[in-house]
Amino acid sequence: MDGTILIYTDLDGTLLDDAYSFRGAEEALAAIRRRGIPLIPCSSKTRAEVERLRLRLGLEDPFIVENGAACFLPDGWRGIAADEGFRDGAYRVIRLGADSVRIRRFLAARGRDFGVRGFGDATAAEIARRAGLSLEEAELARRREFSEVFWFEGEGRPAELAAAAAREGLEITRGGRFHHLIGRGADKGAAVRRLTALLGRHLPGPLLTIGLGDGANDLPLLAAVDRAVLLPRADGSFEPCAVPGIRHARSRGGRGWNEAVLALLAELERPGGPSP
Ligand SMILES: [Mg+2]
């Protein structure tokens, strides 16, 4: 097809399997690399975690962190000189969420009332144990800039927490393993739309976007792209999803991701195949 394909992907359970490995996805990753298709991670992970994964994957493309709270555009990427957002190190950063200092302040003042504990209250060792991460990975997961990850101790009081958070301009989303407190209006879908609009001003059009995800927090991402793929959750079932034309991958993690991406690329490249 003419124009530019962009692939937005969730990481845990989607590109990565439950052991945080992308084994099984190699063929599609190579096909994407050969075609020069940007692969844009869109994750609940932090900048530090996504940067580490980009190194492992050999990616230099933009990325979205902390459930859509911020988009990172590397300096000089595809010659784009963007003036949106602010400069931070080697990136332009477009922030959609609140900053984590404000969120931490709210949790420090009110968290205990609702039976909540956040990553900021926990040691790296506790996070490592709860999330099944190494100690080093847990350190990276703790470096939150735009949101906070938390869990309820026992029953907790989710409804009361949601109401108190809303009064502070904050929202709660559910990821695969934890809850996230994030600025109102920031989600993976809002971030995908914002970044696609920015890239669309610079890359050869038309753009065609592909999105892949497995969790409730991925539904806004899947609704924001032209071709959406839902992967099964850990128990093999699918998150209920009303996105029109949604495709269902056959397996979770890299293998399902691989198969779905190769099928989509083949379809898009068929002569007379669909255009955006
Ligand atoms: Mg996931």
Please list the rounded mean pLDDT of every run of 10 residues in the chain (276 residues).
92 90 96 97 95 95 96 96 92 90 90 91 94 93 93 88 94 83 93 97 95 95 98 95 95 97 94 63
Q: Which of 4, 9, 53 is nearest to 28 (CA)?
A: 9
Collapsed DSSP state (helix, strand, coil) of residue 210: strand
**pLDDT on residue 145:** 92
CATH of span 100-183: 3.30.980.20
List the catalytic residue out of 10, 61, 214, 226: 10
Q: In angstroms, what is the C-alpha Rg of the chain?
A: 18
The model's pTM:
0.92
Q: Which of 66, 65, 72, 48 is nearest to 143 (CA)?
A: 48
Residue 10 appears among annotated catalytic residues: yes
Give the HSE-up count for residue 74: Cα atoms under 13 Å, Cβ half-sphere: 14
Q: Which of 12, 11, 72, 21 is nearest to 42 (CA)?
A: 11
**Are 230 and 75 within 8 A, CB to CB?**
no
**Are 234 and 18 within 8 A, CB to CB?**
yes
H/E segment holding residue 180: strand 179-183
Q: How far is the CA of 11 from the centre of ligand 1 (A)?
A: 6
Residues near 171 by beta carbon (within 8 Å), at least 6 away in sequence: 162, 165, 181, 182, 183, 184, 185, 186
**Are 43 and 22 within 8 A, CB to CB?**
no
For 136, list phi and psi in degrees, rounded to 5. Answer: -65, -45
Which tokens is 68 given?
């859509």
- As its CATH architecture, domain 4-96+187-213+220-228+251-269 has 3-Layer(aba) Sandwich (3.40)
Domain ranges for the chain, please list them.
Answer: 4-96+187-213+220-228+251-269, 100-183
Q: How far is the CA of 72 from the centre of ligand 1 (A)?
A: 20
Q: How far is the CA of 12 from the centre of ligand 1 (A)?
A: 4
Q: How far is the CA of 104 from the centre of ligand 1 (A)?
A: 24
Q: How far is the CA of 204 from the centre of ligand 1 (A)?
A: 30
Residue type, 77: W
